[in-house]
Structures are given as C-alpha cells and as structure tokens.
Amino acid sequence: MIMCIMYNTLNTRQLLKILVVAIGSFGLILGASGVGAATDYTFPEPDVSAYANGDNTIEPGETGDINLRVENSGESVINNGNDISDLESAAAVYDVKPGNAEAVKIRIRNDGGTFIDEIEHFDIKSGIINVGQISPGTSAGGDLTIEADESIDAGVYEIPVEIEYTYVSILENSINEHTIDRDTETVQDTIQVRVEQTGNLELTNSVTTGLYDGSEGTVTVGLRNSGNEVINDATLHMKDSQNIRSTTNDVDVGTLRPGEQSEATFQATASDVDGTGNYTVGFELQYEGSNGNTGLTDTEHTAVRIQDGPDQQVTAVESEMYVDSIGRVTVQITNTGQSQMKEARLNLQPQEPFSPVSSSGWVGTLNPGETTTSTFKLDVSDRAVAQSYPLDFVVEYYDGHDNRIVSEVLTAEADVGAEKTFAVQNGQQISVGSTDTVEYTITNTGDSEITDATVRLNSNTPFETDDDTTFAGSIDPDESKTVQFKLSVEDSATIDKTYSLDTTIKYKNEYGDTVTTDTVSAPITVTESEGLPVIPLIGGIAAITALVTALVLYRIR
C-alpha cells in the first residue's frame, strides 16, 4: 500500500533517488531508530584560526606580501553517540563532509570598506581573500599585501582579521526526505606582523670610462641608503654579468645614514659585447646594522654603458712601389672610435708579392678623430704585376689600464707600378788593340721618370775601362740620352766579332733610396786596326837613325 502511494505521488527519477538513499542508509536507520524513524546527525563545528606563515617581516615605507593562512583545528566526530562509520556512510550518501569549513573568506576590512579595528601605520592593499574549503587538520590561505608607513617604529604589530565560513551543522534523515542544515560563522582573530628597520640600497646613476669590448675600464655608481637605519662598515659588491666582470674587490663606502649618498668605483672588463649600449649589472650592499647584526640588501640593478672602443681606418696615401724593386708605401691611420688608443703601433702583415723590409710603424697615442701616417719599406717581387694590391695591417695598442689590445685586420689598397726599364741603342765599334771613347744611347722604356740616374758599363775580357760610370740625370719615359765611356780592347780580341757589355742604371726613387735596374746588353764590335802599328813604326825609325849614325861615323874616320 505504501509503495503504491509513493509510486503514485512521485515520478520515476524521484523514486530512484529515494531507493538509492534508502538502500544506502537502510541499515543505519534500522539500527538507530527502527523502521521508518528519522535520524539526526549533528556535525562538529570547525575550529578556525589565522596566522602569518613564514616570513612576516616588513620594512618601514615598504610594501610586502604576508602569507596569511587559516587552520581548521576541528574534528570529524558526531556528538549523538553514533559510531563515526555511521556518519561517514550518511555523509557519503548526501555528499557532505563533517567538520569542514566551507566557503572560507578572510578580510581585513568589513563590507562597508572600513577597518574592523583601528590599524595605525599600515595601509591594507588586499581585499577579500577567498580560501575555499578547509578540512579538519589542514590549513589554506593566500597573500595579504600590506604597506607600512615610513615613520613606523620597529616592533611587532597585531593585524585584525575576520574569518567567515559555513559548515554543515545537522543532517536530518528520514525514509521520505533528508534535510541539511548549514550555519555561517564569523571569527575575529589577529596575525602578527614584524616591522624591522633596515638599510636599503638605491642606485642613483652610473658612469663608465674606457669600458669597451675587450678592454678594462671603470664603472662608477652612485648609491643612497634609502632605508631607515644607519648602516656601518658598508661595502658595495658588483655582481658579474654575462658581458661585464669586476676586477675590483668590494668597495668600502663606510657609514651611511638614512637618505645619505655616496659613490663607488670599480675596475671592470667587457667581453663578447654585441655593440655599444646599456648592459644590466647587479649590485648589493653588505653592512652592519645598529643592532650589530650583519645585513645584506636585495640585489639592485642599474644600466652600465659600454662605449664604442677605438676603431681604425687605414688608407694608403702615397705609394712608390715598382715590380722587382724596393719601394715604400705611406699609410694614414685614423682613430674613428670613441676611445683613446695609447702607444699604438701599426704592423704590416707579410703577404705575396711583398717582402716587408720594415714591418712596424710607430703611431703613438691617438685620441678619437685624430690621424697620423706611417711609412713602410717593401721589396716587390719580380713575379708581381703592375696593379693595385691589398696590404693587411693590425693595430696594437693599450687601454687605460695598460692592457694590450690587438685590432682586427685592416686593409689598405696600394698601387704597384711597372718595372723601370731602359734600352741601349747605337752599337759601337772599336779597333783591336786600341783605346777609344764609345757612345751609347740610353732610352727610358718604363712608365715613370728615372731621377739622378747613373749609367754603369761593366767590362770584362778582352775589354777594360777606368771610367765605367756616367751621370745621366733625370730621364722621362721614352726620353733618350747619350752617354760616353773610355774603353780599351786587347790585341787578343777577335776581329769582326760583336761582344756584349753589361749596362745598368742606378737611380733615386721618391724616398731617396737607390734602386738598380736589371742588366741590359750594350753591343760592341771589334774591328781591324787602321794605319801602321805604332810599335813597329817606332822600331823602324830607330833602326834608320842607327844606320845613319853609323855611316857618319865611318866617313869621319
């Protein structure tokens, strides 16, 4: 009869739900009150309290986060004498958890937006902290953001908090229905916040000198004690970064009162720098506080500027070099960077077709924008051709801390002229056994002027000369000059034979160096002697004289 009534008054879904509840709770109901009786389960009330977790310290004038937590110290037990397993079974059926604090909220302000209690020296930045559910024996919470006044004294302060939560107080269960009663509670509590006076580092500026990629320079930083405590025996430490490394130990800045400023200078090196610009470097201050304890500030960062270092440009401004001769090139070097080059030297790198006679040129100290020149002497190979060749240089110099630095390879284009050559015309003749003056026409067949030229005739057997050098002066390209030499030929020379004498020209280049050309052949032909031989004629005259003298003496007798 009961089941019929229930079936008529309830739809199928409601009937299934009641059956599930009835089956799940049937044993509990029979054991507690008998068939059809209602059972009330009274749930324990949560026991909540607030506390500051971890570091609860804040500095005057600073804003910090305090980790505020709520702990539920309640228990999961019933107070109507039933076994805990009964409660757990019923709670599982109706999805309620005994002793849980639910929908937990923490707030420093009430709904009206005013403080629950007067809080001097603090400004609460957080609103309501929604925590959620807290089971017995556990805790949960969130961060409370709070700002302390600059004028606050050191000490421990109580911050009032309000905890609001709900919980299941009663579960009423009967054969036909169940009822869950929830209560909302508000708990007033406090947390402790500790205010400590401390020194604090503030970086005001930074200035660098001579700090560029690969160099050692200085970094000077301005600093200020922005805390509220006098700091003593303070030392500033520069932390190494990816591009900047300190070569100085910690710098002593002494005693700094609140608001007092100072500065510290570090020697530092820069490396692997992408380019000129600001690079972040960290600093921290270690000190002794008023209570005698050692303090260390948080790391503060500032921008440290790395400058453009010395940069160089080289140009060949004068070139007097010819194939197969020793010449010179004058190179102009300019400091196109932003830093000084100290005790600089320009070094020529060996390379074909040159053999450096002098490979290093003194430059001296070059400030940004300054220019100077250096001259190098080179032997140009006979394998060279008349064209422009690159000459490679490196600059060696010192930075402001006497660290040696070598530049990248710099290139200057220098011209090499064609070899200076000459030709000899007008082949000469000379009679066998005679001494005579011979003339040759010397023509400059090169592309440039020959200056202070001296033509030399190199004789060998059967020729001999006591005057083998003739001054020819300047000879322009394609110009010819006649030169003379006094030459003797032996009787043993072959008549009608053309011999070859060697001629060279020595001249001065634009730098005053003496240059000797290649040897050129000067032809000369030996001919038969003209007229009586001098020696036989003299002998005949002597014989005739002797004969005449003899006849005269005979007649006198």
Q: pLDDT for 467-510, tens place per residue?
A: 889 999 999 989 999 999 999 999 998 999 999 999 999 888 76
Distance CA 321, CA 158 (A): 92
Q: Which residue has the higher pLDDT, 116 or 518?
A: 518
Counting every residue, how long is the chain? 557
Distance CA 393, CA 359 (A): 9
pLDDT, residue 29, reads 38
Task: Find the Cα–Cα–Cα–Cα dihedral 346, 351, 354, 356, rounded to 10°.
Answer: 40
Q: pLDDT for 287-335, tens place per residue?
A: 988 777 788 888 999 999 988 878 889 998 988 888 888 888 999 999 9
pLDDT, residue 345, reads 93
pTM of the entire structure? Answer: 0.46
Cβ atoms 391, 351 nearer than 8 A: yes
DSSP string of 478-535, one letter each residue? T-EEEEEEEEEE-TTSPTTPEEEEEEEEEEE-TTS-EEEPPPEEEEEEEEPPPSS-HH
Could you tell me the pLDDT band of residue 346, with boundaries at 50, 70 and 90? very high
pLDDT, residue 167, reads 92
Domains detected in the chain? 2-195 (2.60.40.10), 201-306 (2.60.40.10), 312-416 (2.60.40.10), 422-527 (2.60.40.10)
- Judged against a pLDDT cut of 80, whether residue 403 lies above it is answered with yes
Q: pLDDT for 351-379, tens place per residue?
A: 899 999 889 999 999 999 999 999 999 98
pLDDT, residue 418, reads 80
- Judged against a pLDDT cut of 50, whether residue 21 lies above it is answered with no
Q: pLDDT for 100-154, tens place per residue?
A: 999 999 988 654 445 444 467 888 888 889 999 999 999 999 999 988 887 788 7
At residue 158's C-alpha, the angle toward residues 153 and 159, to 5°, is 110
Mean pLDDT (whole number) for 199-212:
89
Cβ atoms 219, 190 nearer than 8 A: no
pLDDT, residue 287, reads 92
Residue with tokens 């229930």: 6
pLDDT, residue 87, reads 57
pLDDT, residue 142, reads 92
Q: Which residue has the higher pLDDT, 274 or 219?
A: 219
- Judged against a pLDDT cut of 90, whether residue 207 lies above it is answered with yes
Tokens of 517: 């050309």
pLDDT, residue 17, reads 39
Number of other residues whose CB lies within 10 A of the CB of residue 1: 5
pLDDT, residue 206, reads 93
State residue 539 phi and psi, 5-degree precision. Answer: -65, -40
pLDDT, residue 548, reads 56
Q: Which residues of 396-413 are buried (b: 16+ CB within 10 A; e: fewer)?
A: bbbbbeeeebebeebebe
- Judged against a pLDDT cut of 60, whether residue 79 lies above it is answered with no
Cβ atoms 359, 379 nearer than 8 A: no
- Judged against a pLDDT cut of 60, whether residue 543 lies above it is answered with no
pLDDT, residue 12, reads 37
Tokens of 504: 């060279």
Q: pLDDT for 164-195, tens place per residue?
A: 999 988 877 666 667 788 899 999 999 999 88
- Judged against a pLDDT cut of 60, whether residue 11 lies above it is answered with no
Mean pLDDT (whole number) for 31-54:
72
Distance CA 218, CA 253 (A): 17
Distance CA 447, CA 503 (A): 20
Q: How far is CA 275 from the centre of its chain?
A: 7
- Judged against a pLDDT cut of 70, whether residue 551 lies above it is answered with no
- Report the half-sphere exposure of 232 (CA within 13 A, side-chain side): 7
Task: Name the residue among 63, 59, 47 with its Cα closest to residue 144.
Answer: 63
Cβ atoms 322, 420 nearer than 8 A: yes
Distance CA 368, CA 361 (A): 19
CB under 8 Å to 228, separation ≥6 — which residues? 59, 60, 61, 150, 197, 198, 258
